[in-house]
Amino acid sequence: MIDKAQFVPKIEGNEISSFKTTWSAPSNIALVKYWGKKELQIPCNPSISFTLDQCRTTTSVQFKSRTAHDHSSLAVQYDGKPAPSFEPKVKTFIDRIRPYAPYLNEYHLQIDTVNSFPHSSGIASSASAMAALAAAIMDLEKQIYPSLTAEDQIKKCSFLARLGSGSAARSVEGPLVLWGEHTATPDSSDLFGVRWTKAADVFKTYRDTILLVDKGQKEVSSTVGHNLMHNHPFAENRFAQAKAHYQDLLAILENGEINGFTDLVEREALSLHAMMLTSSPSYILMHSNTIQIIQKVRNFRKTTGLQLTFTLDAGANVHLLYPEHEAEQICQFIESDLRQYCQDNELISDRVGTGLKKT
Ligand code: DP6
């Protein structure tokens, strides 16, 4: 068990009166899903994700020493316009991380943020948003405590991001990230994500085409969704299944077994949805178009032998995963047979990426 106390600064820091920094963080797509948590973002099972490349949040933070005249501690802009509706969520995040970043008490934060993907695309932005903000705060921490190592900076960034949104712990590095303790990976932790580099090369360049079946707001917020796992009749079995999948997937990734990957990743996505179908209240988050896409993908794989697979987040959109060397034929199929199921024919072409970038 790793102690949270390691993340509390213990030495006297430099005085920095003003500092501006900009970070871009990617979204990620879980292969083994995090669904169910204990207090303060401790996952009920370990998860594994691909870090994405193109779906990103870029956030600038201007930190300025607070004066007696400052009425508030922060102001948020989205895409260059004031966004007061984002402020409560950011305030909650800052309050949660304050014990680990007490220096924030001294600053007013002017936060400017923008997503590379359309705001209303049904793509969750909390992972990339929290990771980008955590990265900016950790850059300030590095100015205050210059002895902080790059490794500890990254680790604490994931630790802080997790306190904003669990899956954000997995948006700091790439191409694959583990989050949640498992005996098979002694360096894994419930408190932060760790980069996993042992995957066969084929998985380091995987593609993800996101079919935007529903661009609206998610029907079930992740907070509500995770809570559905409390007293869920299948919860314990689901956590055991995810733990077994975690270990199986690591072997599959390491050995480059694309068939095994396809089978496991699809069952994971459908297990997540099965939990929502059988919770109380129950939710059907797939649309008829989601099902049509799934059936077409399975048919295509059967008839062509090409390794196209899907995963889902907690909504109707479909992430199509496939190896780079088959991209040409698969992209043709997506255009001719699948794009029509997307709202306004919109999709996002993405691929596996490497994590945070300072801009
Ligand atoms: C289905 O990370 O959004 O995407 O911790 O409440 O912010 P909070 O939840 P969040 O949950 C993600 C759920 C998921 C699966 C996953 O990404 O592992």
Residue 238 tokens, joined: 């689901």
DSSP state for residue 236 in the 8-state scheme = H
Residue 253 tokens, joined: 């990734």
Note whether 317 and 293 are within 8 A (CB).
no
Q: What is the pLDDT of residues 214-248, one digit of tens each?
A: 998 888 888 899 999 999 999 999 999 999 999 99
Identify whether 281 is preceded by a cis peptide bond (ω within 30 of 0). Answer: yes
Q: What is the pLDDT of residues 39-90, one digit of tens each?
A: 889 999 999 999 999 999 999 999 999 987 777 899 999 999 999 999 999 9
Alpha helices in the chain (DSSP H): 87-97, 126-144, 150-164, 222-227, 235-255, 258-277, 288-304, 327-333
What is the number of the ligand 1 atom nearest to the C-alpha of 272?
1
- Number of residues that make up the chain: 359
Among 32, 56, 73, 179, smallest CA distance to 117 is for: 56
Q: What is the pLDDT of residues 245-280, one digit of tens each?
A: 999 999 999 999 999 999 999 999 999 999 999 999
Q: Which residues pair with 77 in a beta bridge?
A: 82, 112
Ligand 1 centre and the CA of 221: distance in Å?
A: 9
Among 341, 350, 307, smallest CA distance to 202 is for: 307
Spell out which residues line ligand 1, taking CB within 6 angstroms.
30, 33-35, 41, 47, 124, 126, 165-167, 222-223, 226, 272, 313-314
Instruction: Determine the pLDDT at residue 69.
Output: 77
Ligand 1 centre and the CA of 332: distance in Å?
A: 31
The mean per-residue pLDDT over the stretch 3-30 comes to: 93
Ligand 1 centre and the CA of 38: distance in Å?
A: 13
42/34 Cα distance (integer angstroms)? 10
Instruction: Determine the pLDDT at residue 2.
Output: 60
Strands 18-32 and 47-65: antiparallel
Radius of gyration of the CA atoms of the chain, in A: 20
Percent of the chain surpassing pLDDT 70: 98
Mutate to test the pocket of ligand 1, among 31, 32, 34 (most ligand atoms within 8 A of CB): 34
Side chain identity, residue 266 = E
208/228 Cα distance (integer angstroms)? 28
Buried b (16+ CB within 10 A) or exposed e, 179-201: bbbbeebeebbbbbbbbbeebee
Residue holding tokens 């996002």? 348
Among 328, 206, 214, 319, smallest CA distance to 269 is for: 319
Percent of the chain surpassing pLDDT 90: 90
Residue 270 tokens, joined: 């459908």
The mean per-residue pLDDT over the stretch 190-207 comes to: 98
Higher-pLDDT residue of 269, 5: 269
Say yes or no to pLDDT of 1 above 60. Answer: no
Q: Which residues pair with 319 in a beta bridge?
A: 210, 311
Nearest alpha carbon, ligand 1 atom 12: 167
Instruction: Determine the pLDDT at residue 154.
Output: 98
